[in-house]
Structure 1
Amino acid sequence: MRVIVVGAGVIGLSCAIRLAEGGYDVAVFARDLPLETTSSVAAAIWYPYLCAPADRVAAWSRASYEEFTKLAASEPSVQLTHGREFLVEPTQDPLWADVLTDFARVGSPPVGFADGWSFTAPVIDMPQYLPALVKRLEAAGGTLTRAALSALPTNADLVVNCTGLGARLTASDPTVTPVRGQVLTVEPCGLTEWLVADRSPDELTYVIPRRNDVVVGGTSQPGDWNLQVDPKTSTQILERAAELVPQLRDAKILRQRVGLRPARPAIRCELVRTSAGEPVIHCYGHGGSGVTISWGCADEVFQLAQSV
């Protein structure tokens, strides 16, 4: 069966790999190549964020956690890293915590926080991981081609729509909207654990050490399409993070980037048929959790493809 996957972010590539390794003839078409996508900007710690519905997200997250745990044994861009999250209010355990073997409450959160937990999570170095996914796709016989499509193609037995914000066009879906995220990467400064601090919905602070750098974020700005870096915002991000991680004060800034998370009231992952009867699997609207639920969604897309 000939399958065309539209979109080459982490969702599109993961779905394409599952399909290609499952025996399908897969071609990926995308306006933006992997390192040009929002996925390449992601701090990419396994952590469900800005996505719904909670029950499906939890199931996809568990499946992806198990897959990343396996990948960490052989893929250098995936590392299992311990860290902590601080919360301003006492909070119940998240639905996805049951997959974590070392989930524990933080006994004494910093001043200004009332709760927190710690656990080991996969941290994915996206500039390294995305090319690795492309190689894996090609090894399975799949192809990747740059193509600016104004609509979903019709010359395949099945089309999989993984266009993120592009689904506003490819699926005529105006409920997909951007949530702007600005991040910095700084030079390594001796950090071995990640940190997330939730002070408010629009003040998201995270520090994610990777092999060759540290990702520091961030922002969560709904409806903002601006892809330009705001120097003032970068200063604020770094100041907030340095309050919790003082080593960052002297770290050299390597890069500043902006990504637009493809948010939607609920993730769309379903099989539909066009008016002409052609099967299309939509898989978009992953918000800030594209990496976190990528393999779980890819598994579901593969199951849906088998039903065609």
Structure 2
Amino acid sequence: MTVLVVGSGVIAVELIRKQVKIRLLSPRHPLHPSTCSVGAGGLWMPFHCDDERTDQWAFDTLDELMSYACSVESGSVDAVDGGASKALVEIVPAISFKRNNSKAPPKWATDRRSHILKFQCLTIDDLYKESLSQNFRLPGREVMDHAGYSHSWLFHPPIVDSPNMLMHMVRELESSEYTEHINLDTQKGYANVQEIVDDAIKFGCDSLVNCTGLGSKAICDDKSLIGARGVLLQFDRPSCEWDGQPERNDSVIMVEDPPLGSDSDPCYMIPRGKIIAVGGTYLEGDEQPEIRPEEMSKIMENARLMGINTDRSKPISQWVGFRPYRPRARLEIDEDFRKSGVKVVHSFGYGGSGWTVFVGAAKEAVSLLSS
């Protein structure tokens, strides 16, 4: 079997690990700033992916991310940027603030496999005591009390250093004997699936995987696939100055309850590699490619509320991305091409959970190709 992979590296990585020959074509390099994967916060947590298969994919991914974290700690895997980042994956305390304790923990937090995350539901009093014992940073207590937050979720997820992990996967592909051809910047778009099938036949591939993300909206004429616009600011992690708790360890802070956050305007801070990502938005169907002035002001206020001294620390960059959301992710064999001589598998529509499900979804895609 030889597989043409269009648009994504992780499925290609899974294939070469199974000793399957691949050809990989990507319209844009994985590190191009327009790609959702490179700009994403990299936090493991199912988010706006409503498929019932999400938790299985997420825990398959969690297993691999935890192994990366352990490998880096033991020195068997190095950061690929010359050591400027601590790790490809790191484990960081994550806190989600709640206005009351009426919200049940998410399904993934009660799964039998979730023990590794050390998930807890805590009152605000207990959370701030826990931050002292574990030495992690929290927003000022008076800010959260004034906003009316009384409870929280605390867990310890992996965070992917997205650019480094992408390059780590690219190098694995480039060095593999099972990679027949790789072009990460074709600058070529496809109008439909038939064009990809034609290329697969031309290249001598008997299978293909379409993982073009939001591009599949046009390629597959998929009207259920929409972009969910996300906006964030990036602060330099090593030099970032803090108010109140400067010597504590970094933590993830998330607020989706009012007044500081909402479903469409979540307030969050994610330490990732060399940056601290502060956001954000989740706006389905919003196609504005640039950050709006009011969004800039809101996110800077989020940064201040989360403890960053915004008078002394300014964002080093900003990013706008479009999460490929679909009511149910499309991970399946395309029956319309059964008679073409090329097995076609689609893999897209994972919403805000790309770095949470990427390994599990890739494993299922490979299983479909082998079926």
Could you state the TM-score of these two structures normalised by the residue count of structure 1? Answer: 0.92
2:47 counterpart residue number: 49
Is 1:164 the counterpart of 2:217? The answer is no
1:58 counterpart residue number: 55
Is 1:241 the counterpart of 2:303? The answer is yes
Deviations along 1:99-154, one digit per CA (max 9) or x if unpaired, are: 24311112217332243211111111112111111111223332431331323322
Q: How does 1:59-78 map to 2 (within 5 A)?
A: 59-72=56-69, 73-74=71-72, 75=77, 76-78=87-89
CA contact 1:17–1:137 (8 Å) conserved in 2: yes
How far is 1:71 from its partner? 1.0
2:98 counterpart letter in structure 1: L
1:210 counterpart residue number: 272
1:296 counterpart residue number: 360
Deviations along 1:203-262, one digit per CA (max 9) or x if unpaired, are: 211111133221111111110112112233122112023223244553221100100111
How many percent identity over aligned positions?
Answer: 29
Deviations along 1:53-85, one digit per CA (max 9) or x if unpaired, are: 2x3111111111111000112342211111211
Secondary structure of residue in 1 paired with 2:230? strand
How far is 1:187 from its partner? 1.9
1:96 counterpart residue number: 108
Secondary structure of residue in 2 paired with 1:292? helix
CA distance in 2, matches of 1:85, 1:248: 22
Structure 2 stretches lacking a partner, 5+ long: 78-86, 128-143, 241-245
Match for residue 23 of structure 2 among 24, 27, 31: 27
- Count how many residue pairs are aligned between Structure 1 and Structure 2: 302
How far is 1:279 from its partner? 1.4
Deviations along 1:174-201, one digit per CA (max 9) or x if unpaired, are: 1110111011101223551111111211
Match for residue 286 of structure 1 among 350, 355, 361: 350
Instruction: Provide closer, same or farther for how the CA distance between residues 249 and 91 of structure 1 changes in structure 2, counting only shifts above 3 A.
Output: farther
CA distance in 1, matches of 2:344, 2:310: 46
CA distance in 1, matches of 2:265, 2:303: 11
Could you state the TM-score of these two structures normalised by the residue count of structure 2? Answer: 0.77
Deviations along 1:11-62, one digit per CA (max 9) or x if unpaired, are: x211110011111111111212101211111011111111112x31111111
CA contact 1:44–1:291 (8 Å) conserved in 2: yes
Match for residue 122 of structure 2 among 92, 99, 106: 106
CA distance in 1, matches of 2:68, 2:320: 27
Of 134-143 and 195-204, the range deviating more from structure 2? 134-143
Match for residue 84 of structure 1 among 91, 95, 114: 95
CA contact 1:59–1:96 (8 Å) conserved in 2: no
RMSD: 1.8
1:149 counterpart residue number: 189
Structure 1 stretches lacking a partner, 5+ long: none
CA distance in 1, matches of 2:256, 2:234: 20
CA distance in 2, matches of 1:92, 1:254: 37
